[in-house]
Amino acid sequence: MLGKLDWSAIPIDEPIPLIAAGVVLFAILAVLIWAGVKGHYPYLWREWITSVDHKRIGVMYILLAMVMLLRGGTDAIMMRAQQTVAYHSNGYLPPEHFNQIFSAHGTIMIFFVGMPFVIGLMNLIVPLQLGVRDVAFPTLNSVGFWLTATGALLINVSLVVGEFARTGWLPFPPLSELTYSPGVGVDYYTWSLEISGIGTLVAGINLVTTVLKLRTRGMTYLRMPMFCWTTLASNLLIIAAFPILTATLAMLILDRYFGFHFFTNEAGGNVMMFMNLIWAWGHPEVYILVLPAFGIFSEVVSTFSSKVLFGYRSMVLATMAICIISFMVWLHHFFTMGAGPDVNAIFGIASMIIAVPTGVKIYNWLFTMFGGRVRFAVPMLWSIGFMVTFIIGGLTGVLLAVPPADFLLHNSLFLVAHFHNVIIGAVLFGAFAGYTYWFPKAFGFRLDEATGKAAFWFTLVGFYVTFMPLYVAGLLGMTRRMQHYDVAAWRPWMIAAGIGTVLLAIGVALQVLQLFVSIRRRDELRDTTGDPWDGRSLEWATSSPPPAFNFAVLPNVTGEDAYWRVKEHARRQDLDKREPDYKDIEMPRNSPTGFVCAFFATVMGFALIWHIWWMVGLGAVGAFATFVVFAWRDHDEYIIPATEVARIDRTNLAARRAALDLAGIAQ
């Protein structure tokens, strides 16, 4: 009846996960009850859960990412604490638990923090920057988000029901095969990623279509803001790379469920094919995460230097070059697997070449700042912190791209330090920069500066104190994923890294505090003009938060830095006083399709993990039926009448004109 599921799945003998799960469950229940008592459910259902508005979906993606960042961060603290104390002792985490933690940490940070954070920011901002009313497929967008949430939910369920994979963040066979991982851990991994992978693919298709098809009048490719270009490149990579991940994990699933032998040691399976395929997805994945971050930095650096982005066209070229070359370097993740010198040399050289367009970008940002009037607001701090940190991470990356050096450093803590150096230094700093930069656009008030600056400095210093020692420990020969060790020379570096982790944790706590303080002080921090940073692109041309239809009248773009031109024009011509010609606007209707579909996907995923076959059928039929019902819908749009559009837009324009008047006087 319930497949492999019984009471032994609950880890009653392990206090740590049980207490953690208890606290989380208690918090969730408390929030649910509070929302029920206050009567927020109808509002949440109407305005958020069933929303197909790209801004709402973007915010939900970012919220998911931030909650999962806390989970992944807790894993990180536990691991670093273990390595701080586990010298000549077993520490406080038993090996099988430690292995689950480092696997969950990597999986969560990449798939459920990095991906939803950048996809959320792209969802929120790209349609606004392109000057359009929504993404190409609004309901599909909602489906994509909820499927991602399904994956995150399943991974967190593994904390209490059963176990998580002990194989590392990529389940390398033969360890992940049924012979060596008979439990449900790997199944939790594969099914959550298969389901959330569909969500990511859907988001990728949606955003590529949006950029290619839905630009406002006059928004030619070479007038798009840099963030739109990096969005295009990143989502092209999603479309090209995620099917590889899905197919590879499907093969592993066939091995585990039906006795196939794609990656087994026996019967002609080939373990190395898994490494090859997973990294053919895995390396583009790195650029899927980092390209949007590059776009965010381009926007931020240009805005806070009050200058046009230096070398816009070279930036576009560099982005597209990275997009292609990122598919030519994947072997550098397994130089040591035994390929000949010509294979290793070619991929080593390609890996070094990809540093060139990245270097071009760094110089472009530096020259954008050069001669500009730089304002050191929080997003700019993250950007400058990124440039310094990322250069160090990039250089150690070029070092690792040299095959002979890689033979020494492969799977050492040097490698761990390198990829944290680039992923934290670029993706996470970029996400935080974008979060602070676009927060006023999403909610109508800025984030508190003082706590934001404190959070930045704690995170930056904490990052260096944590990860620079790991470089040294790696050079001293310490390998990754060690539950305990006996080498005295490594000890001081592990203690230093432990101290750094405390600083990083304070940084994260300060960000939570920042959100709290900002909400309390929202009236002082209110952004009435819709343009709090003196921005340059079209998202600042509408109110904060934007109305459901984004723009009352779709803008007509005449050059790069579209909104900057509008402002200059307005200043010169004593403002455009004419009332625009308002028309009725058609907007897509909200739809519970995404939520219902994800509900059935969760049921199906959970049933597949535990081999509860009748429930698998139930989930599959339910998910399919949801799509059929949606496909047979009669009307999916509603009309916002012109008078309503005019009313909303007049209040917005009044505040904006007042601000522009002030700016005119100041000049």
For other proteins, the binding residues in 492-521 under the rule CB under 8 A are: none
CB of 135 to other proteins, least distance (A): 15
DSSP states along 219-259? --GGGS-HHHHHHHHHHHHHHHHHHHHHHHHHHHHHHHHH-
Work out whether 254 is an interface residue with other proteins (CB under 8 A): no
Residue closer to other proteins by CB (options 220, 651) is 220
Q: Quick one: which segment of 268-276, 547-555, 573-581, 630-638 binds other proteins (CB under 8 A)?
A: 268-276
Question: Minimum distance from CB of 336 to other proteins (Å)?
Answer: 10
Evaluate the CA torsion angle 465, 467, 473, 479 in order and state its sign. Answer: positive
Q: What is the number of residues in the chain? A: 667
Asked if residue 308 binds other proteins (CB under 8 A), the reply is: no
Binding to other proteins in span 193-232, by CB under 8 A: 212-213, 215, 217-220
Structure tokens at 99: 């292995």
Q: For residue 357, give Cα distances in angstroms to 229, 362, 457.
A: 15, 9, 29
Q: Which two tokens stand for residue 616?
A: 């698998």
Annotate 236-263 with b (16+ C-beta within 10 A) or e (fewer).
bbbebbbebbbebbebbbebbeeeeebb
The alpha carbon of 308 is separated from its chain's Cα centroid by a whole number of angstroms, namely 27
**Interface with other proteins (CB under 8 A), residue from 85, 205, 317, 328:** 328
Residues near other proteins (CB under 8 A), total: 28
Task: Give the residue with the Cβ less far from other proteins, 268 or 340.
Answer: 340
Contact 388, 449 (CB under 8 A): no
Q: Which residues contact 22 (CB under 8 A, 6 or more apart)?
A: none
Please return the burial class of 584, using the count of CB atoms within 10 Å of its CB with bins 0-12, 13-18 and 19+.
Answer: exposed
Q: How far is the CB of 292 from other proteins (least distance, A)?
A: 19
Whether 413 contacts 479, CB under 8 Å: yes
CA distances from 172 to 155, 275, 280, 309, 510 (A): 18, 7, 14, 43, 37
Q: How many CB atoms lie within 10 A of CB 41?
A: 12
How big is the CA angle at 213 (ends 208 and 216), to the nearest 5 degrees?
120
Decide: 435 and 508 in contact? Cβ < 8 Å.
Answer: no
* Shortest CB 338 distance to other proteins, Å: 5
Cβ 379 to other proteins, closest distance in Å? 32
If you ran DSSP here, which 8-state letter would residue 330 be given?
G
Compute the distance between CA of residue 630 and CA of residue 331 in angstroms, rounded to an integer: 43
| 280 binds other proteins per the rule CB under 8 A | yes
Part in contact with other proteins (CB under 8 A); list of ranges 335-343, 465-473, 534-542, 652-660: 335-343
Q: Closest separation between CB of residue 153 and other proteins, Å?
A: 31
Show the site string, 556-575: x = touches other proteins by CB under 8 A, - = not.
--x-----------------
For residue 132, state whether it binds other proteins (rule: CB under 8 A).
Answer: no
Task: Determine, following the binding rule CB under 8 A, whether residue 408 of this chain makes contact with other proteins.
Answer: no
Cβ proximity to other proteins: between 331 and 381 the closer is: 331
Please give the distance of CA 141 from its chain centroid, rounded to a whole number.
15
Q: Which is closer to other proteins, CB of 33 or CB of 324?
A: 324
Nearer residue to other proteins within complex by CB, 240 or 499: 240
| Contact (CB, 8 A) for 308 and 333 | no
Q: Does 287 bind other proteins (CB under 8 A)?
A: no
One of 84, 270, 306, 528 touching other proteins (CB under 8 A): 270
Candidates 310, 330, 432, 606; binder of other proteins (CB under 8 A) is 330
Find the part of the chain contacting other proteins (CB under 8 A) among 267-275, 374-382, 434-442, 469-477: 267-275
Query: Across-strand partners of 585?
Result: 640
Task: Please identify, using beta-carbon distances, which residue of 272 and 639 lies nearer to other proteins.
Answer: 272
Task: Pick the binder of other proteins from 104, 277, 318, 494 (CB under 8 A).
Answer: 277
CA 255 to chain centre: 30
Applying CB under 8 A, does 276 fall inside the site for other proteins?
A: yes
Tokens of 269: 């399976």
Q: Which stretch binds other proteins (CB under 8 A): 323-331, 383-391, 482-490, 543-551?
A: 323-331
> Quick check: 68 and 113 in contact, CB under 8 A?
yes
Q: How far is the CB of 344 from other proteins (least distance, A)?
A: 9
**Segment interacting with other proteins (CB under 8 A) among 138-146, 199-207, 333-341, 545-553:** 333-341
Shorter beta-carbon distance to other proteins: residue 99 or 200? 200
Per-residue interface string for the shown chain with other proteins, residues 231-250, x marking contact by CB under 8 A: -----x---x---x------
Contact criterion met (CB below 8 Å) for 114 and 162: no
The interface region with other proteins, picked from 151-159, 273-281, 419-427, 489-497 by CB under 8 A, is: 273-281
Question: Taking a C-beta distance cutoff of 8 angstroms, is the pair 445, 545 a contact?
Answer: no
Among 2, 31, 272, 639, binds other proteins (CB under 8 A): 272
Residue (232 or 460) nearer to other proteins, CB: 232
- Tell me which stretch binds other proteins (CB under 8 A): 166-174, 327-335, 360-368, 601-609: 327-335
For CA atoms 411, 412, 415, 417, give the dihedral sign: positive
Closer Cβ to other proteins, 136 or 433, answer by number: 136
Question: What is d(CA 652, CA 297) in angstroms, rounded to the nearest whole number?
Answer: 28
- 426 touches other proteins (CB under 8 A): no
Gyration radius of the chain over CA positions: 25
Residue 337 or 482: the one with the smaller Cβ distance to other proteins is 337
d(CA 450, CA 537): 26
Query: Which pair of structure tokens corresponds to residue 549?
Result: 């239809």
317 makes contact with other proteins (CB under 8 A): no
Which of residues 338 and 404 has its CB atom nearest to other proteins in the complex?
338
Contact 284, 236 (CB under 8 A): no
Segment interacting with other proteins, rule: CB under 8 A, options 74-82, 320-328, 443-451, 607-615 = 320-328
Binding to other proteins by residue 553, rule CB under 8 A? no
- Site map for other proteins, 336-355, x if CB under 8 A? -xxxx-xx------------
Tell me the DSSP string of 196-226: HHHHHHHHHHHHHHHHHH-PPTT--GGGS-H
Q: State the residues that interact with other proteins by CB under 8 A.
A: 212-213, 215, 217-220, 236, 240, 244, 270, 272-273, 276-277, 280, 324, 327-328, 330-331, 337-340, 342-343, 558
